[in-house]
Amino acid sequence: MTQFQLTPTTQGPLYPPSEIVDKNGDFVVVGNLARENKSISWGMAIVSKNSTVSRFGEISPYLIQEELDYASEHRLTEIELFTLPLPLPLNNYPMIFAPEQCANAAQIHRQSYPLNEGYIYDYRESDGRRKLPKILLSDWLKAEGIVEISTDGFSAKFEFTFKNLVPNSLYTVMSLREKDLNPNQPTRPGPLGIPNVFITDQNGNASYYAILDNPFPKQNPTSNRIINVIVLFMSSQQSYGGAIGYFGLGGDVHAHLKLKQTDLFDSFLTQPHQGR
C-alpha cells in the first residue's frame, strides 16, 4: 500500500483558470499559474476575468491581479468563493461531460452563486436544504486528504481519508486519465468508482474508497492510465452517475483536493483479469 498526500486547489485544467470565482467574477486560483513568459508554476492568485484564452492545448498567460502566496490570514478571510457563471468563462475544453443527461450544457445560461448556495435542480424551500455559512478561501485552504493505493496486479483499491472539507456537504471523487487532456482527441473524465459520493460530517471529515479494474495498464499508444485523483465539492449537491457533472469546471463541480504532480502513479502496473 502506497500513501499520497492531496493538496488544496481550485483548479482543473488551465482554462478556465479556476473552478471558483470571487464576488467580482475574477478567478480565485490555487493551482498552476500561466505567467507572462508562458512558464507554469504552482501558486495562488486572483486572475482577471478579462484574461485571454487560447485554443485547447496552447497557453495564454493569465492577467494576474493579486498574488496571494504570502497573503495574510485576514486577507484570505475577505475572499468569499462563488460558482462560475454559465456558459463557463475562459473555457477552451471541448468536452460534453454528461452526453446522455445534458448534451446542451454549453447553451445554458446561469448567474454565479455563492458557493454555499449553489443552484440545485428542482429545489423547493420546503425540502430542507442544509444551511451552510459563507465559504471563504481561508477555510478552503485548510482541507486535508490522503489516498492510499493498493493493487493485486489486476485491480487497484483507492482509500481516502479527509479532514477540514466543507462541513455537511456532498463531495465526489473523479479520476483524471492520461488522454483526458489530449489536445487532439480528449477522452471524457469520469468518476473514480460508482457511486463516487461521500458526505462530510459537521467538522468536514469523511472517508471514501473505490476499486477499479486495470486502472494502470502498461503505457502504450492506446493506454489511458489514471494519472490523478480529484476531490470535487458539489455546489449542486448531487451526483451524476457515470458523469462528473453537467458542466464541470466550476459550473456545478469544484476541485478541492488533488495531487500536484501527474507522475506519482507511474510505478503502478495492472493488467486485465483473464477472461474479461
Per-residue pLDDT tens for 132-154?
Answer: 999 999 999 999 999 999 999 99
**Predicted pLDDT of residue 275:** 62
Residue 276 has pLDDT above 60, yes or no: no
**Predicted pLDDT of residue 273:** 85
Q: With bands split at pLDDT 50, 70 and 90, how would you rate the model's confidence at 37?
A: confident
**Predicted pLDDT of residue 140:** 98
Cα 133 to chain centroid, rounded: 21
3-state secondary structure of 33: strand
**Predicted pLDDT of residue 196:** 98
pTM: predicted TM-score of the whole model, two decimal places: 0.97
Per-residue pLDDT tens for 201-246?
Answer: 999 999 999 999 999 999 999 999 999 999 999 999 999 999 999 9
Residue 274 has pLDDT above 80, yes or no: no
| Average pLDDT for 46-53 | 97
Q: What are phi and psi of 86, to 5 degrees?
A: -120, 140
| Percent share of the chain, pLDDT over 70 | 99
Grid coordinates standing for 263? Answer: 507522475
| Average pLDDT for 158-170 | 98
Residue 83 has pLDDT above 60, yes or no: yes
Residue 38 has pLDDT above 90, yes or no: no
Q: Please report the sign of the dihedral spanned by the C-alpha atoms of residue 253, residue 258, residue 264, residue 267.
A: negative
Grid coordinates standing for 136? Answer: 471563504
Grid coordinates standing for 182? Answer: 489530449
| Average pLDDT for 165-191 | 97
**Taking CA 108 as the corner, what is the angle to CA 103 and CA 112, rounded to the nearest 5 degrees?**
130
**Predicted pLDDT of residue 161:** 98
**Predicted pLDDT of residue 190:** 98
How far is residue 35's CA from residue 238's CA, in Å, rounded to a whole number? 35
